């Protein structure tokens, strides 16, 4: 099953753009795309604002910082710098998806996928180019099924 925003349910509901409200580390998020895009910004106030945006709005806002974070290979959350390819950043991603799993609509959509193999075909492969690779996306979505 390909997880993209334009797919049919339940795949569309597992997209980072899907409107699933949750709290991540005390910050209110409208969807998973908000925090992912906010990691590109060092400023905590900008991060909070981006987390409050819809998926498409957050993606658009994050594009403005693509060159900067890609050159530095550094991402941020609440004043802490993370090396993109480092284990601490992977822990941050795990924490983000743990928070997303608290949303009942997201969990219900995930359960409905059954034994389907979950993919994200439009995702990037290179960690140096994206805050969440296709492989990282798969790992977090597929591990989520173990909680049910």
pLDDT along the chain (148 residues), means of 10: 89 94 98 98 98 98 96 97 96 95 94 85 84 77 48
Whether the CB-CB separation of 36 and 42 falls below 8 Å is answered with no
The model scores a pTM over 0.85: yes
CA distance 132 to 114: 24
Give the pLDDT score at 68.
Answer: 96
CA distance 74 to 144: 27
Cβ burial, residue 125 (10 Å; 0-12/13-18/19+): exposed
- Residue partners of 6: CB distance under 8 A and separation at least 6: 12
- Sorted by where each starts, the structural domains of the chain and their CATH numbers stand as 11-147 (1.10.357)
Give the pLDDT score at 114.
Answer: 86
């Amino acid at each position: 099953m390909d997880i993209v925003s334009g797919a049919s349910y339940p795949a569309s509901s597992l997209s980072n753009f899907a409107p699933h409200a949750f709290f991540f580390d005390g910050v209110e998020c409208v969807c998973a795309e908000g925090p992912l895009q906010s990691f590109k910004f060092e400023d905590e106030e900008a991060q909070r604002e981006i987390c409050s945006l819809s998926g498409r709005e957050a993606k658009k806002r994050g594009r403005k910082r693509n060159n900067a974070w890609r050159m530095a290979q550094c991402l941020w959350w609440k004043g802490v710098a993370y090396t993109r390819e480092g284990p601490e950043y992977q822990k941050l991603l795990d924490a983000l998806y743990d928070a997303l799993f608290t949303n009942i609509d997201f969990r219900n959509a995930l359960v409905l996928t059954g034994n389907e193999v979950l993919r994200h075909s439009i995702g990037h492969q290179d960690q140096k180019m994206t805050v969440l690779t296709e492989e990282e996306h798969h790992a977090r979505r597929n591990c989520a099924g173990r909680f049910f």
